[in-house]
Structure 1
Amino acid sequence: MANISLHHSSQAPLAGSFTAFGQILATWRERARQRRELANLDYRTMRDLGISPTDVQFEANKPFWRS
């Protein structure tokens, strides 16, 4: 006769998936925030950072899901 043991896992089967999804959403929100800030830089700040207005515009216009 086979010995079958049932056990209860303390974590839901999808808990890791929900955590990963939450991390993705947090990354997307952070990218969107950074790109809004970048779009609001003045020319002097861009020059101090060594980036051109064209570079800023390109990066700021990318969708939040693109890195």
Structure 2
Amino acid sequence: MPTASAPLAGRQPFPFVTWLHRRLLARWYDRHLQRLDLAEVDDHLLRDIGLSREDVRRECAKSFWQA
């Protein structure tokens, strides 16, 4: 009669999920830093890239997980 085997000790069940989780956290942190940098850009450079101060305010008001 077959018996259920115990899980292997020390084995990570979902290494891909762990990798994906780290990558998602890194993306969120990078997005946060980019928005901090964008808030520091002066009006002359904003005109060069085609953004208004209102565009910047709206983008910086988003939460880190929002694209």
Interval containing the TM-score (normalised by the shorter chain): 0.7 to 0.9
Cα deviation, 1:2-38, whole Å, max 9, x if unaligned, reads 8xxxxx7xx6212111101001001001100100000
What is the CA–CA distance in structure 1 between the aligned matches of 2:34 and 2:60, rounded to whole Å?
8
Amino acid of the structure 2 residue aligned with 1:65: W
Specify the alignment match of 2:14 in structure 1.
14
| TM-score in terms of structure 1 length | 0.80
CA–CA separation in structure 2 for the residues paired with 1:63 and 1:41: 19
Q: Find the aligned partners of 1:29 and 1:19 in 2 and give their Cα distance.
A: 15
TM-score normalized with structure 2 length: 0.80
Instruction: Say which SS state the counterpart of residue 45 (structure 1) adopts.
Output: helix
SS at match of 1:29: helix
* Matched residues, number: 60
Question: Structure 1 residue 47 and structure 2 residue 47: aligned?
Answer: yes
Distance in 1, Cα, partners of 2:26 & 2:37? 17
Find runs of 4+ consecutive structure 1 residues off by over 6 angstroms: none
- 1:61 CA drift (Å): 1.2
Q: Give the root-mean-square deviation of aligned CA atoms.
A: 1.6
Gaps of 5+ in 2: 3-7
Could you list the runs of 5+ residues in structure 1 that have no partner in the other structure?
3-7
